[in-house]
Amino acid sequence: MKLSLHLSALAVLPTVLGAAVPSTEGPQFDKGHPIDGKGKGAPLLGGTDKQIDISNPDNLGRQSTDNGIVPNLKWRFSDSKTRLFRGGWLREQVIQDLPQSHDIAAAQQHLSKGAIRELHWHRVAEWGFVYAGSVLISAVDEHGKYQVEKLNFGDIWYFPKGVAHTVQGLEDENEFLLVFDDPDFDKIGTTFNVDDWVAHTPRDVVAKNFGLDPSVFDNVPNPNPNIFNGTVSTKNVTANPDDILTGDASFVYRTLQHEPEPVPGKGGVFYKIDSTNFPASKTLAATYVTLKPGGLRELHWHPNAEEWLYFHKGTARATVFIGNAASRTFDFSAGDTAAFPDNSGHYIENTSETEDLVWIEVYKSDRVADIPLTQWLALTPPDLVAQTLQIPLEVAEKLQKEKQVLLP
């Protein structure tokens, strides 16, 4: 009997608290355990989210080059609280979610056909990118200039601080990315909804302002609905056509109707959207990038701003170097956001062998700017580069002097 009990105890030794102890032969990062196969690490036996561990192997210590204390630079929209409305939903990433995003807050928003993001304005600028369906935007500026336009996949809007606007869904289902040039977007005094204002102003004052009977405003929503069901707009604005915002004054940029930036490395497609080609966008600059399977956004840094990212499709890896020998590698998939510190060195690699990687970068700046590592070294006396990196002089002399941007 005692022998039988001992054998039973031995049988369960490989399992602790319900977690199977993995083999220690070879690296175990892809199986969700921090084991390098070279004598370092040990299995995870306590509470953990196995799927997240498996999808983030670099967070388990896979890269031996990672060093120092680098804060978390990543946030998953899937971890954001989704707010439900009649006609759609909204989920945000603000500074309370990703404290390292000092410049930018963002959101994903969904509108059903006819649904309206009610009329409002912000204390901050708003940038939007349509990635599903189509929407109608309407905006009015301080000079009484206005714009009403339909936007489709890849189209962008930029509403400067204080510009009044609204968005309506036109297809059965419509979705877009929103970006704001303030990380604490939810604080009071950032967003102003028209029905909120009217509902909280004395009725007789509202009536006097519009020259109408007070009863007209008996059904103003309170509290505001944020998003509500409606019917697709069919009415035109009957104002002076000369007051329509067009050309350099337009709040709309149609990305895919423009040629992408030159990419000598030929590893993908790179669109730049900033004040140089979208003059209205003075506080937010962006890129829309498609990187081929296995491709690399070359090592670089941005001299003018922190970089905020949204990964729309595919899987990626990035190592961020923040100085003082500190670096950390992150794994990304669709729906992830990130904030890379101002001037930090980094790359982005497509880790899929078959699927394109698609992402958006946004900077709180009037322009997109970057300095590639290779170009810097190529335009520095090669003997100094060779001595610094301890590489052959002939290698330093042959470095690419032109930005490669996206490498295959």
Q: Distance (Å, rounded) from C-alpha 191 to C-alpha 188?
A: 7
Per-residue HEC secondary structure of the chain comes to: CHHHHHHHHHHCCCEECCEECCCCCCCCHHHCCCECCCCCECCCCCCCCHHHHHHCHHHHCCCCCCECCCCCCEEEHHHCCEEEECCEEEEEECCCCCCCCCCCEEEEEEEECCCEEEEEEECCCEEEEEEECCEEEEEECCCCCEEEEEECCCEEEEECCCCEEEEEECCCEEEEEEEECCCCCCCCCCEEEHHHHHHCCCHHHHHHHHCCCHHHHCCCCCCCCCEECCCCCCCCCCCCHHHECCHHHCCEEEHHHCCCCCCCCCCEEEEEECCCCCCCCCCCEEEEEEECCCCEEEEEECCCCCEEEEEEECEEEEEEEEECCEEEEEEEECCEEEEECCCCEEEEEECCCCCCEEEEEEECCCCCCCEEHHHHHHCCCHHHHHHHHCCCHHHHHCCCCCCCCEEC
Question: Does 33 belong to an annotated binding site?
Answer: no
Active-site entry in 118, 306, 361, 402: 361
Our answer to whether residue 361 is catalytic in this structure is: yes
Strand partners, 109: 90, 176
Task: State how far the Cα of 183 lies from the Cα of 342, in Å rounded to an integer.
Answer: 15
Residue 122 counted as an annotated binding residue: yes
Q: What contacts 300, CB < 8 A, 6 or more positions away?
A: 345, 346, 347, 370, 371, 372, 373
Under a CB-based contact definition with an 8 Å cutoff, are residues 227 and 111 in contact?
A: yes
Residue 346 assigned as binding residue: yes
Residues in the chain: 408
Sign for the pseudo-dihedral over CA of 250, 254, 259, 260:
positive
Per the annotation, binding residues are 120, 122, 126, 165, 300, 302, 307, 346
Per the annotation, binding residues for Mn(2+) are 120, 122, 126, 165, 300, 302, 307, 346
- Catalogue the active-site residues: 361
